[in-house]
């Protein structure tokens, strides 16, 4: 990974995501981190840095661009900013947070000298948080659904500042506990931010429906129970991972389940299943010797070609190529 402050990367011609440009009717550059050449297939990525690192060099105006593979949380502690998401412009005062989903064409204009942090994360990071993943995943989805919100409690601001500053310190450190420490700091940050994402929208029925929240939590737990242990034990799927089957297991209807997911997290029940299946597929490809054929059947596919098509649509690489790329990366690291 390149150094965030390496100005060499600021002068290279960026890649362009043509498909997004065509869809949006404009052409925008695709970066890894802003100013760095785009690279495909970002996985297990978590990064945090001060706002000034990239903003000061460009006059605190980050022009339109896109990150195809990871989300970003822009946490503003002092000052104000104007931001644009897919043509929608808004102004936000500190302390505040803006969640930018992968694939969103966006720009930021900050008040010069503003203080804050940008956290960049590939969504699979949340799925890898073990026993806390259900509540953290809910928090992450709620932040994505809220998109932007202010932090109304000074004590909350202080806590968020402490967590994100610690995260930024440790992502650039090198020690044995770095992976677990950064992931759990990120989890704590998400849970703290969720408090204010919810309080900003108390007038929105999506946040006040306790029954929907409870159903969503039960659904998340059932997905984890059914999918995230596959391949790690002799456990097999009890049923095909469809919205209909999960709804039956929860004694509800697909419509009610889908409504709960939309109310709480802003995405469909089917998308949650797909996210879990994709995460587990990546884990099995990277950390087991199971063949693509074995993995496809474990995950409930009737034919390996269906699994390959699903995986390629989401990761932009066939499963074997995804596995090979990370094996080659590990070998390179071990030699150095």
Q: What pLDDT does 235 receive? A: 66
- Each residue's pLDDT tens digit in the chain (336 positions)? 333 333 333 223 333 333 333 333 445 454 445 555 545 556 778 999 999 998 998 999 998 888 877 889 999 999 999 999 877 889 999 999 999 988 788 899 999 999 999 999 987 787 666 545 678 888 888 888 788 999 989 999 999 999 999 999 998 888 888 888 999 999 999 999 998 887 765 544 444 466 787 788 888 888 888 887 677 666 677 778 899 999 999 999 999 999 988 887 778 999 989 988 988 888 888 878 899 999 998 888 989 999 999 999 888 889 999 888 766 554 444 444
Domains of the chain: 41-206 (2.60.120.280), 209-335 (1.10.10.60)
- The two structure tokens encoding residue 82: 């104007």
Q: List, as one string, the DSSP characters of 106-146.
A: EEEEEPTT-EEEEEEE-THHHHTSGGGHHHHHHHHHHHHHH
Q: What pLDDT does 91 receive? A: 93
- The two structure tokens encoding residue 30: 């695709």
Q: What pLDDT does 138 receive? A: 81
Q: List, as one string, the DSSP characters of 194-260.
A: HHHHHHTTTTSHHHH-HHHHHHHHHHHHHHHHHHTTTTTSS---SS---HHHHHHHTTS-HHHHHHH
Q: What pLDDT does 16 receive? A: 34
pTM (2 decimals)? 0.64
Beta bridge partners of 93: 80
274-300 burial, b for 16+ CB within 10 Å, e for fewer?
Answer: bbbbbbbbbbbbeeeeeebeebbbbbb
Maximum Cα interatomic distance, the chain, rounded to a whole number of Å? 57
Q: What pLDDT does 130 receive? A: 54
Q: 280 with 296: CB under 8 angstroms?
A: no
Peptide bond into 249 cis (omega under 30): no
Q: What pLDDT does 214 receive? A: 79
């Amino acid at each position: 990974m390149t150094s965030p402050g390496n100005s060499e990367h600021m002068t290279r011609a960026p890649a362009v995501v043509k498909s997004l440009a065509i869809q949006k009717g404009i052409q925008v550059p695709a970066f890894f981190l802003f100013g760095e050449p785009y690279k495909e297939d970002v996985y297990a990525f978590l990064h945090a840095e001060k706002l000034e690192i990239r903003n000061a060099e460009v006059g605190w105006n980050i022009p339109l661009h896109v990150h195809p593979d990871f989300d970003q949380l822009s946490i503003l502690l002092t000052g104000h900013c104007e931001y644009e998401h897919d043509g929608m412009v808004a102004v936000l005062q500190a302390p505040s947070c803006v969640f930018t989903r992968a694939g969103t064409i966006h720009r930021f204009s900050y008040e010069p000298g503003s203080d804050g942090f940008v956290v960049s994360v590939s969504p699979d990071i949340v799925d890898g948080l073990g026993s806390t993943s259900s509540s953290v995943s809910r928090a992450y989805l709620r932040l994505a659904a809220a998109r932007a919100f202010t932090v109304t409690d000074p004590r909350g601001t202080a806590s968020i500042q402490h967590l994100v500053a610690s995260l930024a310190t440790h992502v650039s450190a090198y020690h044995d506990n770095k992976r677990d420490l950064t992931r759990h700091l990120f989890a704590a940050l998400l849970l703290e931010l969720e408090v204010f994402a919810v309080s900003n929208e108390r007038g929105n029925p999506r946040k006040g429906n306790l029954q929907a929240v409870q159903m969503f939590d039960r659904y998340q737990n059932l997905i984890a129970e059914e999918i995230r242990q596959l391949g790690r034990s002799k456990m097999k799927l009890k049923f095909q991972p469809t919205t209909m089957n999960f709804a039956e297991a929860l004694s509800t209807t697909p419509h009610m389940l889908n409504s709960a997911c939309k109310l709480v997290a802003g995405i469909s029940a089917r998308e949650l299943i797909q996210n879990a299946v994709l995460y587990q597929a990546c884990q099995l490809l990277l950390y087991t010797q199971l063949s693509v054929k074995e993995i496809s059947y474990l995950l409930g596919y009737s034919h390996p070609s269906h699994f390959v098509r699903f995986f390629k649509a989401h990761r932009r690489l066939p499963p074997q190529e995804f596995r090979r790329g990370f094996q080659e990366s590990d070998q390179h690291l071990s030699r150095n």
